[in-house]
A and B are shown apart, each in its own frame.
Chain A
Amino acid sequence: MSLDLALLLAQDGIANGAIYVLVALGIVLVFLVTRIIFVPFGDLVAYGALTLAAIQAGERPGTIWLVLMLAALAFLVEAVSLLGRGAAHRLPRAALVWLALPALPALVAWALVGRALPDAAQWALTVALILPLGPLLYRIAFRPIADAPVLVLLIVSVVLHFAISGMALVFFGPEGARPRPLINAMFEIGDMVVSAQTLLMLACSALAAAGLWLFFERSLTGRALRATAVNRVGARLMGIRPGVSGGTAFMLASALAVLSGLLIGPVTTLSYDSGFVIGLKSFVGAIIGGLVSYPGAALGALFVGLLESFTAFYDSSFKEVVVFAILVPVLVLRSLVTAKPADDEEEEL
């Protein structure tokens, strides 16, 4: 392989990897705070891109109905749990947090879509619609079993993916969509042509990695989120509510997901079911990076992008096989490197 070719593949690989970086960051974030491996993360990315595409096309995105349905369900779950504890006086607050707050952007979107909107307003609407999804899914699916073994949380997570990607088919149909890019420009650096969109993605990823690192290392709220994951009981004894921490983490994750959706959408055509594979590839990257560090996850995700582009050069049909198969040796290596965990695992499932 010539050096030029290698450079070209590397550039392609980094552009690919940039897609996975933000998603990998989100996956690490959720895992660090809640011990949940949020498999549907990729689906939220797809929802982001498809929602923007629908809004640009002047159609009401199905996300509106999804948010409204989930908000009603979340309020129901919360109400049942409150009444079960005899805390009826908290119902109005619950209605505000779980019903009114998420429904607001949905209603605004319902009213505005179809009118001539500036690009910025379209993006803002997309963000406002995707943002509640994470916390709502968390409240409905995960919080009732927050103390369950990681394994159960993982199964719920995988199941959740199938549920919400199935809904995406209903809302958006089987065809893919590609929203307009945020920036339309190409740069020539030496012999290479780089799209501004790729550079923007890399910049956003770097900013997000740095921002997350700062938030979790420097602010008391960030520390409290971390503390929840490090020691759940310890955190509760400090008055940190794991439910609030989890909700916050999922909100941040939603933000990262919609950001990646806005950035990735214009680069690759996404359809209702493309989120899963994007999510899992990013997840492979996050695991390669150790699943505990943001910079590590970012590097791991870039590695996955490179691996994909080099494999595709030899035989494009096997790039998926290689990316997923590599996880097995990576996990085995990791289990050899890290000390054996204490054998005090409770009975699982």
Chain B
Amino acid sequence: MRRLTVGQCAPLVFAGVMALMPLVLRGYPITLLSYVGMAATAALGLVLLTGVGGLTSFGQAAFVGVGAYATAWLTTAEGLSPWLGLLAALAATGALAWLLGMATLRLGGHLLPLSTIAWGLALFFLFGNLDALGRHNGLSDIPPAYLGSFPLRSANAGFYLIWVSLGLAMLACANLLDSRQGRAIRSLRGGSAMAESLGIPTFRLRLAVFVLAGMLAGLSGWQVAHVQRYVSPTAFDVGPGIEYLFMAMLGGAGHIFGAVVGAGLVTIARDELQDILPKLVANSGQLEAVVFGALFIVVLQRARGGLVPVVLRRLPSRVLSPPPDAPPLPRRTQPAAGTMLLAAQGLVKRFGGLAAVNDVSFDLRAGEILGLIGPNGAGKSTTFNLLTGAAAPTAGRIRFMGADITAEPARRIAGRGLARTFQHVRLRPTMSLLENTMLGAHLRGRAGMLRAVLRMDRAEERQLRAEAMRQLRRVGLGDMPHELAGNLPLGRQRVLEVARALAADPVLIVLDEPAAGLRRPEKLALAELLRALRAEGLTILLVEHDMEFVMGLVDRIVVMDFGVKLAEGAPADVRADARVQEAYLGGVA
């Protein structure tokens, strides 16, 4: 028999405890727990959006309002069933989130969250001014949901309705996060450059998370409408919006359970405060907002990770075994050695008036290691960005595997079989070595979000996991697949990036200064690994500043200086070149 781990037990225990609550508690505590559940459902959306996806919204309450009003209006004015109202609430919030997301998700930095305040307020004022929605009075006498002919009207029925729907939503989110698409979502906070280089469509994923968060708010709104049985605009202002954000961040943005913990603490604390504060001062109507505000600021200043991670750190960590083997994923056929793989012709890149790369051409043939070298500021990194699609050239053409890839986005180039590493290592420090490597194999999986939520992706997931494990072993990191990437020393982080690149099953792997910051033994090991990869037929382009590292390793060298190609040829010839010596040792006479 399979033994359950702590991680699998906790949700079951939690579900069991919640199911027994109405037997233990009566009256007001059950109502209070219902409020916790409704808030947790909305906060769960923010856990996905903010904690996992790295996007912030102050407008979650407005989405709750959209969901609540959608079902409230349809079931009162049109007399539809609350279950149809649920579909309508989800559809309305999903569609609105899609529209707003399409418009605003490309906004950088603080502009996106600011726009959420703006549309949040606009929606709030809209609710309060539409006659059909009862203006400031809202809508009341909303029918309860029916199970067959049984009305879910009592406090206990409402409690179960809320917590069952919340439980299902949590399960779906947990399944999603533990999948190919979920990993991609979790990688978004590492910046789009990394994700796009792995073939992950960052904008589409952000939009998906945004829509998902909106729909969870819609679910919360539906719960509010049919359990509370009335809706009024004040619950959907920016104030409650920031309270949802507080719940998500207090509990621990990024953890499914953080939503419940945060919502529980805030809702129960508010309830207590509303009892105590009026006894202390007059006009205390907003005083709990003051208390929460002060606490929120302390959390933001001192513990941005929230409570759940603090607790998890104190639990004994379980020992995980490496993943079992699985049938291999299909592989690309490598081009025959010596065929033309990549050709750069007359590349030019200008920044303002400055030409960082000026008329650079070179070829790369299958099965060779080419070194692109030059002193700092020679234009190597810019050339690298042009080849990998991180930047578009001002002029010139690039062909890869027979196709013109000039100005193609990095994501598409990755799909053609080019994998890269970064000069300043870009890994997800809070994800394990195995997960980081699995990110590299993103394009080799097919499972979408729905399959993930329904757990129909397990076979493919096992294959991805086994493939990532193979690559980790291949680069010599197979001994600790479940360690967090952030705990590795720099040298091994670089090697992990190589494993991630290999997991994509590339035909060409492009390394940006892989030796920088490595100690001598680490450099030797890396050189050994690259030689072994070449022996397996892989083509490697090495952009490097460290001459010692390059010379013994590569087949050919291209030297750049001041944006132009200075020399090209075998290592020995290049080293003897007087111009190269001048460029490298410095020419101050």
Contacts and interface: CB of A to CB of B under 8 A. Distances in A.
A347 interface: yes
A283 B296 CA distance: 23
Contacts of B242: 155, 158-159, 162
B107 A151 contact: no
A173 interface: yes
A345 interface: yes
Interface in A227-255: none
B321 interface: no
Nearest to B100: A328
Interface string B388-426: 000000000000000000000000000000000000000
Contact of A321 (B111, B115, B126, B281): B126
Contacts of B54: 347-349
A150 interface: yes
Contacts of B339: none
A170 B281 contact: yes
Contacts of A163: 289-290, 293-294, 297
A166 interface: yes
Contact of B115 (A159, A170, A174, A328): A328
B108 A320 contact: no
Contact of B301 (A145, A280, A346): A145
Interface string A279-297: 0100110010000000000
B487 interface: no
Nearest to A284: B118
Contacts of B562: none
A7 interface: no
Contact of B113 (A151, A174, A318, A345): A151
B455 interface: no
A331 interface: yes
A328 B113 CA distance: 11
B541 interface: no
B106 interface: yes
Nearest to B108: A341
A162 B125 contact: no
A335 B115 CA distance: 12
A347 B190 contact: yes
Name the prevailing secondary structure of the B interface residues.
Answer: helix
B253 A332 contact: no
Contact of A331 (B115, B121, B191, B282): B115
Contact of B110 (A150, A173, A335, A343): A150
A170 B56 CA distance: 30
Looking at B108, B190, B249, the one whose CB has the most chain A CB atoms below 10 A away is: B108
A313 interface: no
Contacts of A141: 297
A325 interface: yes
A145 B114 CA distance: 20
A165 interface: yes
Contact of B125 (A145, A159, A320, A328): A320
Interface in A127-173: 141, 144-145, 148, 150-156, 158-160, 162-167, 169-170, 173
A150 B192 CA distance: 18
Nearest to A273: B286
A184 interface: no
B191 A327 contact: no
B502 interface: no
B119 A324 contact: yes
A37 interface: yes
Interface string B115-148: 1011101100110010000000000000000000
Contacts of B51: 349
User: Interface size for chain A: under 10, 10 to 19, 20 to 34, or 35 or more residues?
Assistant: 35 or more
A317 interface: yes
Interface string B21-37: 00000000000000000
A343 B129 contact: no
Contacts of B192: 343
Given A162-B239, A287-B114, A169 B121 contact: no
B287 A332 contact: no
Contacts of B296: 155, 159
Given A165-B286, A345-B109, A159 B114 contact: no
Interface in B214-234: none
A277 B192 CA distance: 35
Given A156-B297, A162-B293, A328 B119 contact: yes
B165 interface: no
Nearest to B130: A317
A345 B246 CA distance: 23
Given A343-B191, A345-B109, A328 B129 contact: no
B293 A166 contact: yes
Interface in B27-63: 50-51, 54, 56, 58
Nearest to A327: B118
A324 B125 contact: yes
A321 B114 contact: no
Contacts of A188: none
A344 interface: yes
Interface string B534-548: 000000000000000
Given A150-B110, A280-B121, A155 B56 contact: yes
B149 interface: no
Contacts of B239: 162
Interface string B433-476: 00000000000000000000000000000000000000000000
Contacts of A156: 297, 300-301
B50 A154 contact: no
Given A141-B297, A160-B293, A347-B190, A170 B118 contact: no
Looking at B245, B249, B282, B294, the one whose CB has the most chain A CB atoms below 10 A away is: B294
B297 A160 contact: yes
Contact of A37 (B114, B285, B292): B114
Interface string B268-294: 000000000000011111111110111
A159 B129 CA distance: 26
Contacts of A159: 242, 246, 293, 296-297, 300
A322 B410 CA distance: 39
B293 A331 contact: no
A321 B109 contact: no
Interface of A: 37, 141, 144-145, 148, 150-156, 158-160, 162-167, 169-170, 173-174, 272-273, 277, 280, 283-284, 287, 317-318, 320-322, 324-325, 327-329, 331-332, 334-335, 340-341, 343-349
The 5 closest A-B pairs by CB, nearest first: A163-B293, A166-B286, A327-B118, A166-B290, A324-B122
Interface of B: 50-51, 54, 56, 58, 100, 103-104, 106-111, 113-115, 117-119, 121-122, 125-126, 129, 189-193, 238-239, 242, 245-246, 249, 253, 281-290, 292-294, 296-297, 300-301, 304
23 contacts: A150-B109, A153-B110, A155-B242, A159-B296, A165-B286, A169-B283, A170-B286, A280-B121, A284-B118, A287-B114, A320-B125, A321-B125, A324-B125, A327-B118, A331-B115, A332-B106, A340-B108, A343-B191, A343-B192, A347-B190, A349-B50, A349-B54, A349-B304
